[in-house]
Amino acid sequence: MMVVGSEWTMGVDTSTQSLTGIIIDINKSEIVYKRKINFDHALPHYQTENGVIYSENKTVVHSYPLMWVEALELLFYEMNERGLTLENIKAISGSGQQHGTVYVNDLFEPTLKTLKPEESIKNQLEGCFTRETSPIWMDSCTTRQCEEIRNALGGLKKTIKITGSNTFERFSGPQIRKFSQKNPEKYTRTARIHLVSSFMASLLSGTNAPIDHGDGAGMNLMNIRTKEWDPRALNATAPNLLEKLPHLCNSFDIIGTISPYFVKKYGFPKECSIIAFSGDNPNSLIGTGLIKRGRAAISLGTSDTFFSYLKKLSLDFQGEGHVFGSPTGDYMSLICYKNGSLAREVIKTQFNLDWQSFSQILADTPPGNHGKVMLPYFFPEIVPLVLNPEVKRFGLDPEDKEGNVRAIIEAQFLSMRLHSQWISEKPEVIFATGSASLNKEILQVAADIFNVPIYQFQITDSAALGAALRAAKSYSDLNAVEISWKQLTSKFLSIQEKEIIYPNETVKDLYEDMTNLYNACELYFLGKDTNPEEKRIEFIKKYFS
């Protein structure tokens, strides 16, 4: 398909609903191949719903590590079927949904080292887990463990100073603590506790892979300043935890070469470098070109996230936002919402809409929505913390199709604006990624609310692209080829740019006031303020009388 001698790098993203592979040609600055394996559709025997398995009340949310393994094998099989010259792939890095934990026994590494090419990896690994399923970022059943760790570390502010974040139900530390408490025997038999990223990197490298600083920061276990496992956090979490964790490494570290299994079975070159895998958010930072101040991004996927590049460490002592390590060696800020695409889907389905008609409603309804406000907690929420889901409407009839469509989108971006105010570096532009970023009408609402231009890209898989770019940077550094992050990202992002969506300056004041109104509604819902109805009526009189 391509001449031998081409220099390709690959990014693999194991997300909530799918596994995505992207191959880029470094020299030609082009995407050679992209494929997404949807778990529900491609691997129906796991019987997942949107890639996960829910408990009855949806507070316990897990997934299957072996499903991710099988998806990876399917990806490589399809690449071979397409006739891709895999010997051109010089380096691979990857991305994993952050916070998810994988628990393996002492058979895991020896099995990886002796994989037989005539058999699937999935079948060979079946006896290597002390826990068949992995708790993922959507899980919210560890409130007690969060409190115990936070108290042991000296309270909210001290916890944030140490780990960069408050303790959150989805974070790895509280999840590990609950497992050690509920299943002490299985915890004792656990030889390694991997993140999704380091687990997938282990498959490709044929040995227990390290955890990079970007993903390690999302565990409540790593010291955000020293970038080492913090003894206080480890002791507050579970016994003998240090010996069960992989070591930490830089995001740009080459952790080895590809396992002989993949060389023999799929035709990868034996010298193919494996670069440390990271979390989906640090990878998306690179995949959206956030390598300097003044840039932020919104990722509109299963979860919605707002993240930005930070040159200097900045912490949110309200306990809602996070600070992770950036692949550039700096930092990134992030806030995360569970009620992302699944919440949008609820409204779309309720009114029997397709996305075209949904978008048309957004285009036809006025900014400010006649003062109709929704708090869209269809599922347990992270920001603000809402463990018992409930949708709260102010001046909005549940059967009002147009009102509910605009209300769900305005609510999501008003909340992002409101809860990102702690970030020290304000965005001058915002880059959009994720499946919903293809929707121009949704992005227009975001541009208006933040009052900054939003860049829309053709490629929405920023985490997989970011991983491929990270692999390219480390491969270039290895071969003494000087290329800066700016040069590397600008090459690929410029060809992916689809449109710049500019804010409507006439609604700047309206959304300034509506952000305050939304805040009043949220505080009332949380029991922290009085009924906001009077403020809502004043808003209506000011803009819709």
CB 453 within 8 A of CB 501: yes
Give the pLDDT confidence score for residue 495 in this predicted structure.
54
Contacts (Cβ under 8 Å, ≥6 apart) of 397 = 403
Distance (Å, whole) CA 274 – CA 256: 5
Q: Kindly give the residue spans of alpha helices, DSSP state H, lying in 388-544.
A: 401-419, 440-450, 462-478, 485-496, 508-525, 533-544
Give the pLDDT confidence score for residue 57 in this predicted structure.
81
According to DSSP, residue 437 is labeled G
Residue type, 57: N
**Two tokens, residue 470:** 């990270």
pLDDT in tens, 234-253: 999 999 999 999 999 999 99
Distance (Å, whole) CA 170 – CA 181: 17
Class (C level, CATH) for 8-276: alpha beta
Residue 37, CA distances (Å) to 15, 20, 71, 131, 303 in order = 10, 6, 7, 24, 18
Domain ranges of the chain: 8-276, 282-339+422-501
User: Do 8-276 and 282-339+422-501 agree at the fold level?
Assistant: yes
> Each residue's pLDDT tens digit in the chain (545 positions)?
333 458 999 999 999 999 999 999 999 989 999 999 999 999 999 999 999 999 888 889 999 999 999 999 999 999 999 999 999 999 999 999 999 999 999 999 999 999 999 999 999 999 999 999 999 999 999 999 999 999 999 999 999 999 999 999 999 999 999 999 999 999 999 999 999 999 999 999 999 999 999 999 999 999 999 999 999 999 999 999 999 999 999 999 999 999 999 999 999 999 999 999 999 999 999 998 898 888 899 989 888 999 999 988 889 998 899 999 999 989 999 999 989 999 999 999 999 999 999 999 999 999 999 999 999 999 989 899 898 999 999 999 999 999 999 999 999 999 999 999 988 778 999 998 888 888 999 999 999 999 999 998 776 788 999 999 999 999 999 999 989 999 998 888 775 667 899 999 999 999 999 999 999 999 999 999 999 999 999 999 999 98
CB 180 within 8 A of CB 206: no
pLDDT in tens, 160-193: 999 999 999 999 999 999 999 999 999 999 999 9
The fold for domain 282-339+422-501 equals Nucleotidyltransferase; domain 5 (3.30.420)
β-strand pairing of 373-377 with 295-300: unpaired
* Sign of the torsion angle spanned by Cα atoms 325, 326, 328, 331: negative
CB 440 within 8 A of CB 359: yes
Collapsed DSSP state (helix, strand, coil) of residue 299: strand
